[in-house]
Amino acid sequence: MSHSDTFDVLIIGTGAAGLTLALKLADNVRVGVLSKFHLTSGSTFFAQGGISAVLDKTDSLDSHIKDTLNAGAGLCSEDIVRLTVSQGRQSIDWLRKQGVDFTKEISGQLHLNREGGHSHRRIVHATDATGKAMSLALIERAKEHKNIKILENHNVIDLITADKLDPALDKTVVGAYVLDTKNQQVKSMAARVVVLATGGASKVYLYSTNPHISTGDGIALAWRAGCHISNMEFMQFHPTCLYHPKAHSFLISEAVRGEGAYLVDAQGKRFMQHYDERAELAPRDIVARAIDNEMKTHGVECVYLDISHKSADFIKQHFPTIYEQCLTLDIDITKHPIPVVPAAHYTCGGVVSDDYARTNIPRLYAIGEVACTGLHGANRMASNSLLECLVFADRASIDILKTLPHLPRLNLAIPKWDESQVTDSDEEVVISHNWDELRRFMWDYVGIVRTDKRLNRAMRRIELLKDEIDEYYSHFKVSSDLLELRNLVIVAELIVRCAQQRKESRGLHYTQDYPEKIEDLKAKNTCVSPEMLKKDRK
C-alpha cells in the first residue's frame, strides 16, 4: 500500500515547539511537519512578551522555581519546574544560534523585562514581538534542511492507531488522516512516531487573544485516540486584550504592566491595590478576576491600561508593535489610556505527558501548549510557555533519537479515506451557527467566574451540539471549519468535565459555590480519560 507520505517522525504544528523539535531531529531522521494553514498562523508568531530565563546576576534558579510554584497554586510538579527552569540559559543560547535577534542593552547584555508573578527581571525578548522573531528564524532554518518536509494547509482529521487496523494490536499510533485544504483531498500519512505540537484551545471562548486556528485540535485528536487529559478547567484569561470593534484578538503584553502601566477605571482611578498588594504585578488570574469584577460591578464594557505617564520615547522604544497597532485605531498610547478586557489566552491543561513528552499511547508525544506537563499547575506564569516549548521539544528529541532505531516496523496497510457514503454539505450555516453558539455559552457559563448551575447548563448544551455535529460529520464531506467545530465541542466537554470534578477555587478556576481552596497535603490534578467516561456511562 503506498501512502501519500511516509515519515520517521510526523510533527503536527509549526510553532516554537514543532519547529524546534524538527530541527533537533532532522540530521538523523526524515521529518514531516504539518501546518493547518500558513506557517505563521499559530500562536507563537503573535507572542509579544518573551522567554523566561535566569540570566541576571541577582536572580537564581531557586527564585524562578519558587515564583513558578507560587503561580501554579500547589499543582505544579516541582521536578518538572526544576527541569524546565534549569534549561533556560541553554534554550536562549540555542535560539541565538538559530538567528533569533533578542533586544540588548547598550552594554551588549540581553535586555530583561519583568512580568507579573516574577520576582526578578528575567524575560528575554525581541522588543514586543518575540514570537515573530522566533518564528521567522526557525521557519528559515527548517526550510533549509533537506530532511524536513513542510506541508502547509494540511489539517489533521484523526490519528490512526494500530488497533483500528488490526484488533489484535494495541493502540500504538501509526499515522494520521490529513485534509489537504488547498486541494480538498484527504491523504493517509504513515509515521513511526507522531508528535502533537498543535497549541491551545482558547477559541472555545467568544473573546480570545489567540489566532483563529487555536481550536484545541491536538487535544481532541489525542482524546479520540485514547489519551488521558488533565486540568482543562485551568483556562488562562489574559487580563488585557485591546477592546475595540476593529481590533481582533490583539493582546496588550503583560510587559506593559511590568514597565509601570496602571489599570484604571473610566475616571482614571487605579483599582488593583484593592484586590492584591502586588497591584498591577499580581499573577494573571488575580488581575483578570479583578477586571471582570470591576466591569460587572459598574456595568462597564472595559477598563483602561495607562502608561502615558512614561516618556513617549520610552513607550515607542519598548512597545513599538503595540504603539503602532493602537495608533491605527486612533489611540495614541503616549497620551491616552488603552481600553482593555480580559480574554481567553492560554490552555494550562491538556494531554498528559511525562518528562520526555511521552503520552500514554505508544509512539505519540505532545509538546508545547497542547501538553499538560506539570509545569503550569493551576496557573501559568508569564513567559514560561515559550520556555516549555523549547525544553520539551529538546526532551522529546532525546527520547525519539534514542528509541527510534529500536522500534519494530509494524508494516500495516493504512486504508484510503472512504468518502463513498458522504455528500457535499447543503447546510454550511449549521457549522457557523453551532460554532457561534458554543463559544458564546462557554464564555457565559464557563468563563472567569463559574457556578455548578452554569457548568450543568453548559454540559446540557454540549451534549446536544455533539449529537448534531456527529450527525453532520457522518453525512457530509469534511472541511476545515467542520473539523475545527468537531474538535472544539470535545474541548468544551473536557473543560466542563474537569471543572465539575474540582470542588474548590484554585488558580484559574474560580467558582462561587466553592470559593475557598481545599488545603490538602497533596493537591489533586483533575483527569479524564475515555475509559473513565465509558465507566461513568455504564
Q: Could you write out the DSSP letters of every residue in 132-154?
A: HHHHHHHHHHHHH-TTEEEESSE
Positive or negative, the CA dihedral 262, 268, 273, 276 is negative
Convert 247-313 into a string of H (helix), E (strand) and C (coil): CCCCECCHHHHHCCCEEECCCCCECHHHCCCCHHHCCHHHHHHHHHHHHHHHCCCCEEEECCCCCHH
CA-to-CA dists, residue 394 to 23, 30, 95, 313, 417, angstroms: 10, 17, 12, 39, 34
CB 393 within 8 A of CB 33: no
> What does R_g of the chain's alpha carbons equal in angstroms?
23
Q: CA torsion, points 189, 194, 197, 202, in degrees to nearest 10?
A: 70
Please compute, for residue 213, the number of CA atoms within 13 A of its CA located in the half-sphere on the CB side. Answer: 23
CB 271 within 8 A of CB 290: yes
Helix, strand or coil for residue 61? Answer: helix
Active site residue 380: no
Say how far apart CA 13 and CA 27 lie, in whole Å. 19
CA-to-CA dists, residue 100 to 50, 124, 139, 333, angstroms: 12, 11, 11, 28
CA-to-CA dists, residue 39 to 24, 136, 151, 222, 480, angstroms: 18, 9, 9, 22, 16
Say how far apart CA 229 and CA 182 lie, in whole Å. 32
One of 192, 284, 395, 450 is an active-site residue; which one?
284
Helices (H), 299-361: 312-318, 320-328
Say how far apart CA 525 and CA 231 lie, in whole Å. 6
Count of helix runs (H) and strand runs (E) in the chain: 17, 18
CB 237 within 8 A of CB 447: yes
The residues, any chain, with a CB within 8 Å of residue 95's CB and separated by 6 or more, are 51, 102, 134, 137, 390
The phi, psi pair for 352, rounded to 5°, reads -65, 125
Say how far apart CA 413 and CA 398 lie, in whole Å. 29
Residues designated catalytic: 284
